[in-house]
Amino acid sequence: NPSNVKNVLDEVIVPVASPAKVMADLKGKRIASGPGIQNVTLAKTILERGGATGATVVELPIGQHVAALAAGQIDGAYTLEPTGTIGRMNGTSRVLEAGVISRYVLGDNMAPWFGGSASLSSEFIKKNPEVAKKFVAAYAKGVAYVRSKPVEARKYLTGYTPIEGALASEVPLAAYTMYNEFTPTDIGHFQKFFDLFSEKGIFSSRLMVETMIYKG
């Protein structure tokens, strides 16, 4: 992305009336994360590195984060959009800090976080090289469409995703990086993200991102 504006999808949110101003204010608090080892590891790392010592992380489906904050069951949540936008629009929560993976895991506020991928197995690519190429080309076409016509692309959020109504025009659109657009710096940040899971013992050995990027 040539500009310095990031489409930020990862955030820590708190109830709208929470006195918390910075991450360290969540010391000893009860904080939700999405379910699964990846979400829990990231939430714990963000809180720890942000100075929120003694915080407890509880797994909760992301769709329940805003309601749990409103009901006072949790004091904050490491969550993903559109949760923050939903909470802001219904007046129950506010974003304490956005772009938390870049800041606390990658160590650079402007670092890109590749939080998901469209993946094909090596076996599938070997067995169906032409089909794989068609899939990647179709995906690239979709990415180009979202980039060049974001307003028009938003209408497809309704019906194809859980994002409905007014939310479709408010939620930040995800940014995409195609396999042939990765720079060495991007690969370095992506590797740093993977390395967190090796360091924490979630991966039994270090996985190298470079070897997993589609080569065309």
Q: In the prediction, which pLDDT does 8 show?
A: 83
**40, two tokens:** 């829990």
Q: For the chain, give the percent of residues with pLDDT over 70.
A: 97
Quote the CA–CA distance of 60 and 50 in Å, as a whole number.
Answer: 21
Show the CA angle centred on residue 72, arms to residues 68 and 78, nearest 5°.
Answer: 50
Tokens for 130?
Answer: 């032409």
pLDDT at 6: 55
pLDDT per position as a tens digit, 140-196:
999 999 999 999 999 999 999 888 888 999 998 889 999 999 999 999 999 999 999
pTM of the model: 0.89
In CATH, what class is 10-105? alpha beta
Contact at 8 Å (CB) between 46 and 26?
no
- Domain ranges in the chain? 10-105, 122-212
Strand-by-strand arrangement of the 30-33 sheet: 56-59, 30-33, 76-80, 10-15, 93-98
Residue type, 209: V
